[in-house]
Copies of this chain bind each other. A is one copy, B any other.
Amino acid sequence: MRIAIPIFDQLTALDAIGPYEVLSRLPEATVHFIAVEPGPKRSENGMLAVTADLALAELTDPEVIVFPGGFGTRALMRDEAVLAWLRRAHETSTWTTSVCSGALVLAAAGILDGLRATTHWMVLEMLREYGATPTEERVVEHGKVITAAGVSAGIDMALLLAAKLADEDIARAIQLGIEYDPQPPFDSGSVAKAGPETVELVKSLRLG
């Protein structure tokens, strides 16, 4: 099974690496990091480079697509090479998924037309411009399309996907393998839980 994770400059790295860490453990699965041009891609802050080993053109029919987010998605939404690849890959995929603002690229490709979907809370309303219905759920499933909320939500989405691609026993074992027994020291992971002052702080310090 081939799992494609498209990457690009100005990526949010955890959007991609969270699902990778789960899905790469599936028996018989290979995760491929792919890009318009292979080579190192820098995160939004420039502090990290992750390598794309394949060009999009080298993998046009993956069984699974996981589209991560990051500020770089804004350019991809107007990049016909990326949108055409995505439409083509979605025709034959078993699952087409996104994390964070990766959903905006799926939306720009027309894949979310008429669907309920989610993305990072800061850009949630942008989905509406592309014909999707924004929802605040953490993981939204619609036929073979799954969208996840911001950044860390990709881990939860990938565990759900692992159960579909293999079975629930394997997914549970992967969860134990990555010791995913979350114990955040605070409880501010959603807009509702964090409150308006924390929301303002994220915006003023550009922490989203």
Contact = CB atoms under 8 A, between A and B. Distances in A.
Interface of A: 12-14, 17-18, 20-21, 24-25, 27, 30-33, 40, 43, 45, 47-51, 53, 100, 120-121, 138-139, 149-153, 155-156, 159-160, 163, 168-186, 188-191, 193-194, 197-199, 201-202, 205, 207-208
Contact of A188 (B120, B173, B191, B202): B173
Contact of A40 (B51, B139, B201): B51
A201 B169 contact: yes
Q: 7 tightest CB-CB pairs across the interface, nearest first?
A: A181-B189, A150-B179, A177-B207, A182-B182, A49-B51, A14-B21, A172-B188
Contact of A14 (B12, B18, B49, B156): B18
Contacts of A180: 151-152, 182, 184, 189
A168 B198 CA distance: 11
